[in-house]
Structure 1
């Protein structure tokens, strides 16, 4: 009987600790993304798969948190290509393990004070819509914010930088 009570007690402690850590991870990610609230100016550089060459264009973003949720709206505007303007909502899962459909692989505080969050998911990319592992890297600081997408196609061993948004503010 003592063994059963000990096992039950340890299970409860483990559950409480796991639950607390999950909430902490979620809260930490929310705090990280709250640092980027507001307006940013910058650029988007993407790989044109047709030509194989990078292309850079002006790109701005406004980040808003949706009250009472773990959701953030990323309102993307392209000053010279208004038809490309879009809004994306990212949701930080309650357990802090996902941002949208992407698994959070790591969260690192870099020596220069920046925070780097790396996520990944299986998906499709490229002109041929090929299977790939897709990695997003969010780099956050007080005055610089970037989002980089890298792709590893199923048959390849080398990551391809698909695009990178780099923003700054005063």
Structure 2
């Protein structure tokens, strides 16, 4: 009987040790992923000039307008402020806060699907979420692709409406460094 208790205690100790090792490994990986995304977005700090091209659902045609953005990291946190200005349409100016989750799995409410370093040195981050889009607010999968380099930055939004098989390019911001 005493021998069985010792065997069970050893099994419990081994299981506990493995659980701790797995937890520490997971936590370290999550922190690394989060830190990498923060470093990627930190590269965006500063002023950018560019354009916004979006699909006008009413006409079915793309429309392009001037768009600038200033990106600031908020108090050394995982949050970044995007101050969007539209020189010819000042009423559209807006500010957006983008938060990177502590585990690096989300940018805002968007799940990070991939992060790749491209051959030319650019970083490409793809996120996805369920949402609604279009003039009639239809259910859709919304995919954002962030492409970051030292001199260029873009955010592309693609939409796959429920029941469809073809992605639609909803809009794309394309910027260059000031």
- TM tier, shorter chain? over 0.9
Residues 1:132 and 2:121 are matched in the alignment:
no
Aligned to 1:161: 169
- Pick the structure with greater CA Rg: 2
Structure 2 residue 151 is matched with structure 1 residue 143: yes
* Stretches of structure 2 lacking an aligned partner (at least 5 in a row): 1-8
Give the aligned partner of residue 69 of structure 1: 77
Q: Residue 30 of structure 1 aligns to a residue in which SS?
A: helix
Q: Residues 6-33 of structure 1, C-alpha deviation per residue, up to 9 Å, x if partnerless?
A: 1111100000000000000000000000
Report the secondary structure of 2:59's partner residue.
coil
Q: 1:5, CA displacement in angstroms?
A: 1.1
Match of 2:86 among 61, 64, 78: 78
Per-residue CA deviations over 1:47-98 (Å, capped at 9, x if unaligned) read 0000000000000000000014211000000000000000000000011100
Most deviating of 127-136 and 1-10: 1-10
Any idea what SS the aligned residue of 2:24 has? helix
User: What is the aligned residue count?
Assistant: 170
Deviation (angstroms), 1:103: 0.4
Partners of 2:76 and 2:158 lie apart in 1 by: 32
1:45 pairs, out of 53, 59, 73, with: 53
* 5+ long unaligned stretches in structure 1: none
Residue 111 of structure 2, aligned match among 103, 106, 118: 103
Which residue in the other structure is 2:66 paired with? 58
TM-score by length of 1: 0.98
Q: TM-score when scaled to structure 2?
A: 0.94
Q: Which runs of 4+ in 1 moved over 2 A?
A: none
CA distance in 2, matches of 1:149, 1:51: 19
Aligned equivalent of 1:11: 19
Q: Tell me, in whole angstroms, the C-alpha distance in 2 between the residues paired with 1:155 and 1:97.
A: 27
1:89 aligned residue: 97
1:108 and 1:69 map into 2 onto residues whose CA distance is 23
